[in-house]
Structure 1
Amino acid sequence: MELQNLIGTGIAFIGACLAVGMSCAGSGRGVGIAGEAAAGVVSEDPGKFAKTLILQLLPGTQGLYGLVIWFWAIFNMGLLSGVPQLDIGAGIAVFGACLPMAIGGYVTAVAQGRCAAAGIGIVAKRPEQASKGILMALMVEFYAILCLLASFLMIFFFTA
């Protein structure tokens, strides 16, 4: 593999790794934020575990979305077939295509964790209103899905 292709492939690989790494880091923070709130509620009333668990799990989806983009980028780079051939321009394009999921995945996961923690507060005081807290947290999920879609389509149309 010539040097230009090695550099291009490396740049693209960094973008793919950022997509999964930042999304998973954000998911970890978001799930942790919600988990801290859930632990307090469950310690007072263990019967609210299931409702708080649903809210705690929601920020974890961004990590899965990042993994999807990582796999899609790796697949389209040709790494699975063993012969990646991306010049520097193509590597930069794949890197850029991964950025919406990397940045958006991190930011939305943390924001969703905070929103889920507030929803867990609803569960603590009015458990019958848990669906409202879930819906509020799902509003943030919409923007994570937009980031997933943007990265997915850019990688798809770049390599198509």
Structure 2
Amino acid sequence: MEFFEAFGGLALGLLGAGLAAVLSGIGSAKGTGIAGEAGTGLLCQDPSKFGKVMILQVIPGTQGLYGLVVWFFAVFRMGLLDGTAFDMTVQEGLRYFVACLPMALGGLFSAIAQGRVAAGSINLLAKKPDDWSKGMVLCITVEFYAILSLLASMLMIINISG
């Protein structure tokens, strides 16, 4: 416990909140990049499909938004916005750190996986344009796990008593 006391509760809580935002953002950047690479190939051949390609590319970006929501909510609950966070114990800081981990890791991995599914859906759009909504359904299946990560982090943050 002495190791954690060297950092303090506030630093540990902020580290968890920061990881939720940063790792989810990294996953979203990677996922939207994967989908964007597939999309540019299709748009070279058929620029009229830009709207559908853009929708498929944007979908993996939601995890970054979810991570930012968890970051903001954790920072708010820690009392950083009203100045009461500075007396946070190490135990409270560790609670926030652990509560933010589902969104941090879930956001990172689900966004990358969703980017791969979106890239495959863009290939579907290229070959069978009338079936592109099936690709959307496949992307939304991965989104479900990002939402579960968001829910897990939010419920844990709500139940931390300070």
TM-score, structure 1 length as denominator? 0.95
Q: 3-state DSSP class of the match of 1:135?
A: helix
Equivalent in 110, 113, 126 of residue 112 of structure 2: 110
CA distance in 1, matches of 2:134, 2:7: 50
Unaligned stretches of 5+ in structure 1? none
Q: Establish whether residue 27 from structure 1 lines up as the match of residue 28 from structure 2.
A: yes
What's the counterpart of residue 69 of structure 1?
70
What is the Cα deviation at residue 159 of structure 1? 3.3
- Asked whether the equivalents of residues 23 and 63 of structure 1 are also in contact (C-alpha less than 8 Å), the reply is yes
CA distance in 2, matches of 1:49, 1:150: 35
CA distance in 1, matches of 2:161, 2:114: 32
Distance 1:112 1:52, change over 3 A: same
Unaligned stretches of 5+ in structure 2? none
CA distance in 2, matches of 1:81, 1:6: 21
CA deviations on 1:101-142 (whole Å, 9 max, x unpaired) are 000000000000000000000000111111000110110000
Q: Establish whether residue 38 from structure 1 lines up as the match of residue 39 from structure 2.
A: yes
Q: Establish whether residue 124 from structure 1 lines up as the match of residue 126 from structure 2.
A: yes
What is the Cα deviation at residue 99 of structure 1? 0.1
What's the counterpart of residue 93 of structure 2?
91
Percent of pairs with identical residues:
52
> Where in structure 1 do 4 or more consecutive aligned residues deviate above 3 Å?
none
CA distance in 1, matches of 2:75, 2:19: 12
Q: 3-state DSSP class of the match of 1:96?
A: helix
**Structural RMSD (CA):** 1.3
TM-score, structure 2 length as denominator? 0.94
Q: 3-state DSSP class of the match of 1:30?
A: helix
- Asked whether the equivalents of residues 23 and 66 of structure 1 are also in contact (C-alpha less than 8 Å), the reply is yes
